[in-house]
Amino acid sequence: MSNPLKQLTEQGQAVWLDFVSREFLAKGELQKLIERDGLTGVTSNPSIFEKAMGHGSDYDASLEAFLERADAEPVDVYEHLAIEDIQQAADILRPVYDRLEGRDGYVSLEVSPYLALDTRATLDEARRLWQAVNRPNLMVKVPGTPEGAVAIRKLVEEGINVNVTLLFDRNAYMAVAEAYIAGLEARLHQGKDISRLASVASFFISRVDGVLDKLIDERKGEEAELGELRGKVAIANAKLAYQDYQRLIQSPRWKVLEAKGAHPQRLLWASTGSKDPAYPDTLYVDQLIGPDTVNTMPPKTMDAFRDHGTAAPMLSTDIEAAQRVVDATARFGLDLDGVAKRLVKDGARQFEDAADALLGAVGQKRLDFLGERLNAADYRLPQDLNEAVEARLDEARREGWSRRLWQGDASLWTGRDEDQWVGWLAAAQGRQADPVALKALADAVRKEGLDTVVLLGMGGSSLGPEVLANTLGTATGGLTLKVLDSTDPAQITALEEQLDLRKTLFLVSSKSGSTLEPEILRAYFHQAVERTLGAGEVQQRFVAITDPGSKLEASATAEGYRAIFQGDPHIGGRYSVLSVFGMVPLALLGHSVADFFQVTQPMVLACGPSAPPAINPGIRLGVVLGEAVRAGRDKVTLIASPGVASLGAWLEQLLAESTGKQGKGIIPVDLEPLGEPGVYGRDRVFVSLVLAGEEDAERDSRLQALAAAGHPVVDIRLARAELIGQEFFRWEVATEVAGAVIGINPFDQPDVEASKIKTRALTDGYERDGRLAGDEPLLEEGALTLFGDADLQGQDTARAAIKAHLARLQPGDYLAVLAYLERNAVHEEALSAMRDSIRDSKRVATVGGFGPRFLHSTGQAYKGGPNSGVFIQITADAQNDLEIPGRSLSFGIVEAAQAKGDLEVLAERGRRYLRVHIKGGDIDAGLQQIVELVEAAVA
């Protein structure tokens, strides 16, 4: 008996296989089907590739060889592997294609399922795939959505073979048939050949019955009439579509094209495997046999038909009966159009799900392949948080967060201007800073014998460079980098005393170009350089980094600065480290910016738009942080090994300033010693950052104890300090994502502005009146004067006031010590001592900061975040104050105005605060006294 599959060919129907895999091709199975069954085509789709690549190891060697050549995102890895398969299948089918002169012998590859509703992107992708596969017998698969139809018309016009997929109803079919014809006409109009073009319209069959049968089964009491329709509608619908096809190819319009050699767009029956075991396994082949059609069968259906199929021409029989079936669906209120619409949506969703799984699997293999080239992160989460995280990751997958983040889709956050702030993504790919120009500057200054660079800048303009200097140090031949982000006269003097101005370069770094601190510091050091080297030398010692059009740019240009590097106005300050704001300092430190980006890329690619959330290191971390906040764990406690410890200050700004607003957000906790579980409340997440070689058994066992006690613990590990750039990027993505989970705009800093405005008003007032308005103190005691909010009024000793203030700390609150003093080791030690005693006795998180530095960082969350902060502000009479050239202000006055402005905003926001002012100049003694009072208050 002859092979029923071969009989299909005799009936004019092409037999295609709805399957492909590497192993299948390698074993010669496709060739066998061509020879034995007369097979003339192959279709693939995301589900098919998911089955092939998503499991097992058949693709591993090829994947590794590809990644050896160049690292890539999951989608590029997938595409490379898929294209190899498609090319191989196309080559196997090439003799068929040649023999049939382009009428058959095609292999289909689908465009990304994420683009089904985007004409432009579909067009670009189809063109790209067409070129990449580079085989005449390729068909690019494009969904038959209204958006797809526009792309189809254009692709056909350009001479690209198209397989229109996801068709479920005759209206959609007619629309794409029109697109095909219009595309051919346009091509013909341009005088181009239309005889080597082919197209199929893939009509999905079994899924229609799948939905309708279910609807029918749900209609109780109507079984008798409705039951008749079970398993009939899909075939009836397809038969009527075939009638449409025949009318079309008889039309005069088509005849014109036919005369020029055009091939009709054949109807292809897809989804032809029987899903209901009650139906014959060859149902959707047997009933749909007719000339000029294709049936693409899954292997099982093909085997079944070969075994016991009946090749009779059924497609044009019983058309009236088919019409009656379709009419009956309408009569019984079974909405065929609605079902088709739903199936298009579900179908697109199904392919997206498959693509997600496929990209997840391929992406995971890439991560395994990278090993230590990518910083590791492990999570120990309590069960309830873990469940919330996994659920959110799945939601993020379904909602395409990875892609939307890279597109800057504002609806991921609050739908305001977030799309204007995603320049940091391009910067992370090395697209903002020019390594050659930066190296030229570094080489030139070194040649001139300069050995130190002082960066004058705040927050986002200073913290990243500080991390780079502390983590990577000065490379051979590089300059030493010092950051000055204070208005404290003692701190300025301490730095100045270390400088040899003959060998110092100043980097004035300000995105806005109008920030007060760098503005007055540069005036100060202009004068200092002028005094030492003479007026003519000043410009050569100053370099500016600022956004285009800023006030700083204008004056640096007017003054003839040695160089001006422009930032990207679409990057906010705290996201700017991988732009010129971090890269100019990196180059001056003597490091290669190009190499830095190279070793950072594995993380950028791992967090890329095609990396599904579950394997996307930035998204996973962000979801953990965001869900933790939702569960009341909003204190992200950073525990870093010495080599990467300075990342903490940068992370503080990123997390606090991005998320701490509208009464919500993350409170980062840096530089708190790691304690036993008993000293912590249930409001913590611990993040451990360890540089290889700095492992510490004691730390590990403490973290283990915390994890065992039910605290979330995140372990991040860097194999080398050079990989610090990966953490910048991971955390930037994570912060964005945490912002999306929390529901805030992670790019603005409304409350930082508030204290800047207050400070400006105070300094303007001082320049006008020669004095800063004073406040009414709570009490004075020796060298200390105390000020406090209304609830502290009436306390009559420093000890009682501090005790009363700290007594307000409740579980979930945090204590902040904010010191407007020189940031030096002694003062840091004092702040730590206060924090330790309060943390251990009150079991609350503690944070510390030096003003005005923290104003540009965590200050946002203290004012705009949750009202859970209890603040101790420490100020002191300025000693050896410094005048600001050109202003009737001193640095000491500015610092005092900043402290006052800060406190006023805290007061306005109803925060609990106490200010302790040290009079008389012995700051260390005053500070020691405060430490003792605090210790006594919590004893």
Ligand X SMILES: O=C[C@H](O)COP(=O)(O)O
Residues of this chain that interact with ligand X (CB under 6 A) are 458-461, 510-512, 515, 518, 573-574, 856
Q: CB-wise, 214 or 220, nearer to ligand I22?
A: 214
Q: Name the segment binding ligand I22 (CB under 6 A); options: 85-93, 200-208, 257-265, 367-375.
A: 200-208
Report long-range pairs for 405-408 (Cβ below 8 Å, ≥24 apart). 405/609, 405/619, 405/733, 405/736, 405/737, 406/608, 406/609, 407/609
Instruction: Write down the least CB distance from residue 18 to ligand I22, Å.
Output: 5
Instruction: Write down the least CB distance from residue 743 to ligand X, Å.
Output: 23
Residue from 296, 504, 759, 837 touching ligand I22 (CB under 6 A): that is 296
Q: CB-wise, 168 or 575, nearer to ligand I22?
A: 168
Which amino acid is residue 192, in one-letter code?
A: K
**Range 205-224, binding ligand I22 (CB under 6 A):** 206-207
**3-state SS record for 11-54:** CCEEEEECCCCHHHHHCCHHHHHHHHHCCCEECCCHHHHHHHHC
Instruction: Write down the least CB distance from residue 581 to ligand X, Å.
Output: 7
756 assigned to active site: no
Q: CB-wise, 573 or 892, nearer to ligand X?
A: 573
> Distance between CA atoms of 440 and 528, rounded to whole angstroms?
26
Distances (CA, A) of 357 to 52, 109, 350, 397: 12, 18, 11, 10
Instruction: Write down the least CB distance from residue 726 to ligand I22, Å.
Output: 38
Q: CB-wise, 116 or 584, nearer to ligand X?
A: 584
Q: CB-wise, 381 or 507, nearer to ligand X?
A: 507
Q: CB under 5 to 8 A by kind: which of ligand I22, ligand X, none does 282 bind?
A: none
Q: Does 45 bind ligand I22 (CB under 6 A)?
A: yes
| Residue tagged active-site, from 6, 32, 141, 260 | 141
> Distance between CA atoms of 530 and 501, rounded to whole angstroms?
10
Q: CB-wise, 358 or 899, nearer to ligand X?
A: 899
Q: CB under 5 to 8 A by kind: which of ligand I22, ligand X, none does 911 bind?
A: none
Q: In what order do the strands lie in the sheet with 452-456?
A: 480-484, 452-456, 504-510, 542-546, 563-566
Instruction: Write down the least CB distance from residue 206 to ligand I22, Å.
Output: 5
Q: Does 576 bind ligand I22 (CB under 6 A)?
A: no
Nearest-CA neighbor of 232 among 307, 198, 289, 283? 283
Residue from 13, 40, 108, 161 touching ligand I22 (CB under 6 A): that is 108
Residue from 122, 145, 199, 271 touching ligand I22 (CB under 6 A): that is 271
Q: Name the segment binding ligand I22 (CB under 6 A); options: 268-276, 760-768, 801-809, 823-831.
A: 268-276
The single residue listed with the structure tokens 């065992």 is 708
Q: Are 914 and 801 in contact (CB under 8 A)?
A: yes
Report the DSSP pairing between strands 779-781 and 784-788.
antiparallel
Residue from 7, 21, 43, 755 touching ligand I22 (CB under 6 A): that is 43
Q: CB under 5 to 8 A by kind: which of ligand X, ligand I22, none does 515 bind?
A: ligand X
Q: CB-wise, 144 or 648, nearer to ligand I22?
A: 144
Q: CB under 5 to 8 A by kind: which of ligand X, ligand I22, none does 837 bind?
A: none
> Distance between CA atoms of 643 and 487, rounded to whole angstroms?
28
Q: CB-wise, 382 or 852, nearer to ligand X?
A: 852
The site map against ligand I22 for 3-22 (x = CB under 6 A) is ---------------x----
Q: CB-wise, 375 or 579, nearer to ligand X?
A: 579
**CA triple 322-328-329, angle to 5 deg:** 100
> Distance between CA atoms of 287 and 345, rounded to whole angstroms?
26
Q: CB under 5 to 8 A by kind: which of ligand X, ligand I22, none does 461 bind?
A: ligand X
Nearest-CA neighbor of 617 among 600, 634, 632? 600
**Range 64-103, binding ligand I22 (CB under 6 A):** none
> Distance between CA atoms of 263 and 261, rounded to whole angstroms?
7
Which amino acid is residue 163, in one-letter code?
A: N
Instruction: Write down the least CB distance from residue 577 to ligand X, Å.
Output: 11
Q: CB under 5 to 8 A by kind: which of ligand I22, ligand X, none does 43 bind?
A: ligand I22
The site map against ligand I22 for 894-913 (x = CB under 6 A) is --------------------
Q: CB under 5 to 8 A by kind: which of ligand X, ligand I22, none does 730 bind?
A: none
DSSP alpha helices (H): ranges in 251-370? 252-259, 283-286, 299-308, 319-331, 336-370
CB atoms within 10 A of CB 2: 8
Q: How many helices (H) and strands (E) does the chain have?
A: 37, 24
Distances (CA, A) of 673 to 640, 686, 844, 847, 930: 10, 12, 13, 11, 20
Q: CB-wise, 44 or 795, nearer to ligand I22?
A: 44
Instruction: Write down the least CB distance from residue 515 to ligand X, Å.
Output: 3
Instruction: Write down the least CB distance from residue 382 to ligand I22, Å.
Output: 39
Q: CB under 5 to 8 A by kind: which of ligand I22, ligand X, none does 459 bind?
A: ligand X
Q: CB under 5 to 8 A by kind: which of ligand X, ligand I22, none does 202 bind?
A: ligand I22
- φ, ψ for residue 58, nearest 5 deg: -60, -30
Q: CB under 5 to 8 A by kind: which of ligand X, ligand I22, none does 430 bind?
A: none
> Distance between CA atoms of 506 and 694, rounded to whole angstroms?
34
In sign, the C-alpha dihedral spanning 515, 525, 443, 481 is negative
Q: CB-wise, 287 or 296, nearer to ligand I22?
A: 296
CB atoms within 10 A of CB 124: 14
Residue 251 makes CB contacts below 8 A (sequence gap 6+) with none
Distances (CA, A) of 440 to 100, 239, 503, 564, 767: 62, 72, 18, 13, 42
Q: Name the segment binding ligand I22 (CB under 6 A); options: 184-192, 264-272, 326-334, 448-456.
A: 264-272
Number of residues that bind ligand I22 (CB under 6 A): 15
Residue from 86, 126, 181, 268 touching ligand I22 (CB under 6 A): that is 268
Which residues, in sequence order, are bridge partners of residue 507? 455, 543
Q: Do you know the residue count of the chain?
A: 939
Specify the DSSP class assigned to residue 884.
P
The site map against ligand I22 for 140-179 (x = CB under 6 A) is -x---------------------x-x--------------
Q: CB-wise, 351 or 686, nearer to ligand I22?
A: 351
Instruction: Write down the least CB distance from residue 216 to ligand I22, Å.
Output: 18
Q: Does 266 bind ligand I22 (CB under 6 A)?
A: no
Q: CB-wise, 108 or 461, nearer to ligand X?
A: 461
Which amino acid is residue 122, in one-letter code?
A: T
Instruction: Write down the least CB distance from residue 619 to ligand I22, Å.
Output: 28
In sign, the C-alpha dihedral spanning 296, 301, 307, 309 is negative
In sign, the C-alpha dihedral spanning 752, 753, 754, 756 is positive
Which amino acid is residue 839, in one-letter code?
A: R
Q: CB under 5 to 8 A by kind: which of ligand X, ligand I22, none does 460 bind?
A: ligand X
Instruction: Write down the least CB distance from residue 177 to ligand I22, Å.
Output: 15
DSSP alpha helices (H): ranges in 577-723? 580-588, 593-606, 617-630, 647-659, 697-708
Binding residues for ligand I22 (CB under 6 A): 18, 43, 45, 108, 141, 163, 165, 202, 206-207, 268, 270-271, 273, 296
Active site residues: 141
